Structure 1
Amino acid sequence: MTLLLVLISPLLLFLTLRMGSGLVQCRELEARKMDNSRRIANITAAIKDMLEDYDIRLRPRFGGPAIDIGIDIEIVSINSISEVNMDYTLTMYFRQHWKDERLSYDPCLGNVSLSGILAERIWVPDTYFPNDKRSFVHDVTVTNKLLRFHHDGTITYGMRITSVASCYMDLVHYPMDEQNCSLEIESYGYTTADVNFVWQYGDDSLEGVNNIEMAQFTLSDYKLIVKMQNFSTGSYPRLALTFRIKRNVGFFFLQTYLPSILLVMLSWVSFWINHEATSARVSLGITTVLTMTTISTAVRQSLPRISYVKSIDIYVITCYSFVFAALVEYAIVNYNYWLEQKKKVKEAHGIKNNPTQNSNNKKPPELQQFNPQVALRLSQVDSEDDILEDDEMKNSMGMDALNGNDRGHRRTSLTYRPQHRNNAQNNARNNTAYGPRYTNVNPSITRRRKKKPKRIRVLPRIRNVNTVDRVSRILFPFLFLLFNVLYWVGYLYVLPNRSKNE
């Protein structure tokens, strides 16, 4: 029996202590509930007492010194930076702090956080953003507003805002540019005699800057500014958040610069194509010119209609000039080539008609190097000059007829036989005779033909057209390489260092 009591007594003691602790916890819980109920009742009563005689129309310390409105901002994101509209989109947590002694209460109640709806029943600053285009307060799932009371009357009023603010951009160095954008904060109706805006925590009043990521820009620096703005109605306090963003050039290099470089290099391929392949060289030149035009149009569509020249315009225009110059180079080559061939035809024709030079029945060097098909093509080119000469002779005969001297012309017959109008047999039979023929021409007409004015040569004569292509193969790449060195060194190193020094 004694052994049984010894074994049961510890168990009874444990159950007694367990029941006692449970009773204590129950009493503490009931006391806590009562305290919470009393605290809620006290807070409700305190709010009721604060708002009972509260006049929302009067600022705190009305008639006394100006009150300080502290501002702090936490940036969520910066995006949609538009060069066309000159604006950017900023999402932030915007908080204001001020002290209103009329809203002080018992310190035992601690800090009280309430719904933002209560902000409609107390005085709040008339803060607005001067450079704002449009803004809104987020309302999912409820209106994103915070209202927190402190026992000494200090109030924290915060909200989540998305604002589209204007930002003037200087695009002279686009796309290697840096822009200064700002968010300005000001009181709309209260002057510096009533309110004073300050940054709540000094230089630490801006948070979230290190977490900002933008697609085309990099945030390089920011600055918090305090100033006054003078209007005709008075001086108003203003705060400004200014941040400096630098554009990333990688996208533009892949989108504009690299295709332009490849197109310029593609236009150089024509320098290695035979100058007689007209269709190949002309089609290549026109294709590169039209493609550069498309790239230039795409660049202008993504920018506002500004009058000054941008850095990307300089590069695109220069590439366009190189491509166009390659096409003009072939025009010069082709013109000089056919001009030289035409001269050889005339020299060969003169040697053939001279019996002293053709006594040994040997072909002269001009005829040995010449192709009959080239002569046929040149005779077609000369046909326009022959027709003009024929018109001059006809006009001359007409004038003689009017003067009564038409008898000689009746006995004189004029025969005009252009080479390109003969059939295939005449072409084969007359391979050595290039160009039109005139027979039995009046000497007076011949003298008039000799007196016609000489043509003015605009382009210099080039003896060997292949020399132009060989020079272009070296000159064009050298000039383009020199331009790229000066362009990239100037815009990536020289101009940024100069702007920093200024």
Structure 2
Amino acid sequence: MLTKVLLILLGTFIILPSRIEGPHVESEKGPSASDDDVYGPKPQAPDKELPPEEIKPTATDTHDRLGKMPTATEILDGILNNYDYKLRPGIGERPTVVTVELSVNTLGPISILDMEYTIDITFYQTWYDERLRFNGSFESFVLNGNLVSLLWIPDTFFRNSKRTQEHSITMPNQMVRIHKDGKVLYTIRMTIDAGCSLHMLKFPMDSHSCPLSFSSFSYPENEIIYKWENFKLEINESNSWKLFQFDFIGVSNTTETITTVAGDYIVMTLFFNVSRRFGFVAFQNYVPSSVTTMISWISFWIKKDCAPARTSLGITSVLTMTTLGTFSRKNFPRVSYITALDFYIAICFIFCFCALMEFAVLNFLTYNRTASRGSPKLRHPRAHARDPTPSRVRVIEHPEAFVCDIEDPEESEEEEGPSCPARQSVRPGSTPRPGGCCKWCEKYCCTVPTCEGSTWQQGRLFIHVYRLDNYSRVIFPVTFFFFNVLYWLVCLNL
């Protein structure tokens, strides 16, 4: 009896929890199945949105792509297993022909002092290697810079390079493309500091051709032949070129064979032609030199009595020209010849120096010689009035010096008559004093303020010393003008 009661209680405890949990589960599932506003994924939604027709091609494409990768790997492994990168293609049979192309990314700057220039290029080399032929569904495949060392590459080097940098950010900037027919394209980017011999004779109206020369380092002409593919050269002028003082005017190329101890090598050379911009040098050198030369002429309009003013102006002009000449050579190579600019500055220096010397000559002739020799030896004018000689001399007291004037127009120019104190004393019979003016000065120079009435200078080209400033006001500007005309005609037409 007790056993039956226990079995009934146990069955009751088992049935009761199932009835309690059943309605609870249905209450959770029921509203989610009937209520469309509940947020959440629906179990059959992917089957309804993505039909089987659209899923099947995607799986096929993925399978095809995965199927080609082993094929490319097998081809590359098959090529490299029997490949010797130490031997050039066609060895022992024919020379390897390497076709070269260039793409100029940046040109400049050009260093005048070091005689070199910087160029950033992308260098292309193309050749055929029968050992790299393959059969496949694709035309070519690319190897990055890490696998370049597994293939034979021409040992091209730049003959006039001083420094060469190969770019390696973020990976080495080099690439190899292998075609199915064995054609190989090798590309590398580099920055080169190449030497450029600058001929500065016509500076600053100069033009230069900066070369970029390259050839094989170890393979002579009978093993490697370089050639241009219709001379293809890409000039990317959209980049910021750093020529600064120069303008790019074109490019040319040459191909030559040079003979060395190791053999005959083919050398390819590119010439980048540039011409100097004239504006910078004109404002830095030509304009200051010309203005300084003209300033030195101001002394011709200053009175002879103002010696400090004229002397300081002349010395300042000479020192300024010396400074300009030194400044023009500051960033200049130490060449053994003079340039067009050096010649111009030298002529301006000579003009300034001559302007200073003009005042020195004028001061010496008008003050020192005339005053010291003329004034103590002249007699009173009344004494000459009683002189029975046919030559009459009129003594004039000049504010600056005592001078004499000849009044006899019939006196022969060969006679030693009294003409001026610098030549002899007032007495017609006296002999010239030792230490007088030189013979040339006696014939062609006159220190008398008014040289009218004398016959000794008739038919001769004489210089009136007191009018030396008047002559200089005309001679200096006219001479400088004709010099500039001749200078620019010669420099611009050469």
TM-score (norm 2): 0.73
Corresponding residue for residue 365 of structure 2: 336
2:376 to 321, 324, 346: 346
1:295 to 324, 349, 371: 324
Deviations 1:373-394 (A, max 9, x none): x99xxxxxxxxxxxxxxxxxxx
Q: Distance in 2 between matches of 1:452 and 1:269?
A: 38
Q: Does 1:319 align with 2:348?
A: yes
C-alpha distance 81-22 of structure 1, shift in aligned 2 (>3 A): farther
Q: CA RMSD in A?
A: 2.9
2:447 to 440, 462, 477: 462
Corresponding residue for residue 273 of structure 1: 302
Corresponding residue for residue 218 of structure 2: 189
Provide the secondary structure at the position in 2 that maps to 1:139.
Answer: coil
Q: Distance in 2 between matches of 1:477 and 1:147?
A: 69
Q: Distance in 2 between matches of 1:241 and 1:99?
A: 24
Q: Distance in 2 between matches of 1:226 and 1:278?
A: 68
1:133 to 162, 172, 175: 162
Q: Distance in 2 between matches of 1:456 and 1:310?
A: 42
Report if aligned partners of 2:196, 2:211 keep a CA contact under 8 Å in 1: yes
Q: Does 1:208 align with 2:239?
A: no
Which one-letter code corresponds to 2:376 in the other structure?
Answer: K
C-alpha distance 453-333 of structure 1, shift in aligned 2 (>3 A): closer
C-alpha distance 256-355 of structure 1, shift in aligned 2 (>3 A): closer
Provide the secondary structure at the position in 1 that maps to 2:304.
Answer: coil
Aligned-residue offset at 1:19:
5.3
Aligned-residue offset at 1:107:
3.7
Q: Distance in 1 between matches of 2:199 and 2:396?
A: 65
Aligned-residue offset at 1:251:
1.1
Report if aligned partners of 1:39, 1:109 keep a CA contact under 8 Å in 2: no
Corresponding residue for residue 114 of structure 1: 143
Corresponding residue for residue 123 of structure 2: 94
Return 326-335 or 26-35, whichever deviates more.
26-35
Corresponding residue for residue 471 of structure 1: 471
Report if aligned partners of 1:104, 1:150 keep a CA contact under 8 Å in 2: yes
Report if aligned partners of 1:86, 1:166 keep a CA contact under 8 Å in 2: yes
Corresponding residue for residue 3 of structure 2: none
Q: Does 1:222 align with 2:218?
A: no
Report if aligned partners of 2:381, 2:395 keep a CA contact under 8 Å in 1: no
Q: Distance in 1 between matches of 2:51 and 2:94?
A: 58
Corresponding residue for residue 433 of structure 1: none
Provide the secondary structure at the position in 1 that maps to 2:94.
Answer: coil
Mark the structure with the bigger radius of gyration: 2
Report if aligned partners of 1:347, 1:366 keep a CA contact under 8 Å in 2: no
Q: Distance in 1 between matches of 2:273 and 2:193?
A: 17
Q: Distance in 2 between matches of 1:355 and 1:128?
A: 98
1:79 to 87, 100, 108: 108
Report if aligned partners of 1:88, 1:164 keep a CA contact under 8 Å in 2: yes
The alignment of Structure 1 onto Structure 2 pairs a total of residues equal to 395
Corresponding residue for residue 5 of structure 2: none
Provide the secondary structure at the position in 2 that maps to 1:224.
Answer: strand
Q: List runs of 5+ in structure 2 lacking aligned partners.
A: 1-43, 387-393, 403-430, 450-464
Which one-letter code corresponds to 1:165 in the other structure?
Answer: A
Provide the secondary structure at the position in 2 that maps to 1:303.
Answer: coil
Which one-letter code corresponds to 2:371 in the other structure?
Answer: Q
Which one-letter code corresponds to 1:490 in the other structure?
Answer: V
- Percent identity between the aligned chains? 30
Q: List runs of 5+ in structure 1 lacking aligned partners.
A: 1-14, 358-363, 376-449, 496-502
Q: Distance in 1 between matches of 2:349 and 2:288?
A: 12
Which one-letter code corresponds to 1:77 in the other structure?
Answer: T
Report if aligned partners of 1:69, 1:97 keep a CA contact under 8 Å in 2: yes
Aligned-residue offset at 1:73:
0.3
Corresponding residue for residue 146 of structure 1: 175
Aligned-residue offset at 1:22:
5.0
Deviations 1:108-154 (A, max 9, x none): 13322221121111110000011111111122222211222222221
Report if aligned partners of 1:267, 1:323 keep a CA contact under 8 Å in 2: yes
Aligned-residue offset at 1:344:
4.9
Aligned-residue offset at 1:229:
1.8
Report if aligned partners of 1:111, 1:149 keep a CA contact under 8 Å in 2: yes
Which one-letter code corresponds to 1:276 in the other structure?
Answer: D
Aligned-residue offset at 1:354:
7.3
Q: Does 1:309 align with 2:355?
A: no
Which one-letter code corresponds to 1:39 in the other structure?
Answer: K
Report if aligned partners of 1:101, 1:152 keep a CA contact under 8 Å in 2: yes
Corresponding residue for residue 427 of structure 1: none
Deviations 1:272-319 (A, max 9, x none): 111111111111111111111011111222222222221111111111
TM-score (norm 1): 0.72
Report if aligned partners of 1:71, 1:205 keep a CA contact under 8 Å in 2: no
Corresponding residue for residue 263 of structure 2: 234
Report if aligned partners of 2:127, 2:184 keep a CA contact under 8 Å in 1: yes
Q: Distance in 1 between matches of 2:150 and 2:94?
A: 23
Corresponding residue for residue 431 of structure 1: none
Deviations 1:425-452 (A, max 9, x none): xxxxxxxxxxxxxxxxxxxxxxxxx999
Report if aligned partners of 1:344, 1:366 keep a CA contact under 8 Å in 2: no
Report if aligned partners of 2:109, 2:242 keep a CA contact under 8 Å in 1: no
Aligned-residue offset at 1:453:
4.2
Provide the secondary structure at the position in 1 that maps to 2:147.
Answer: helix
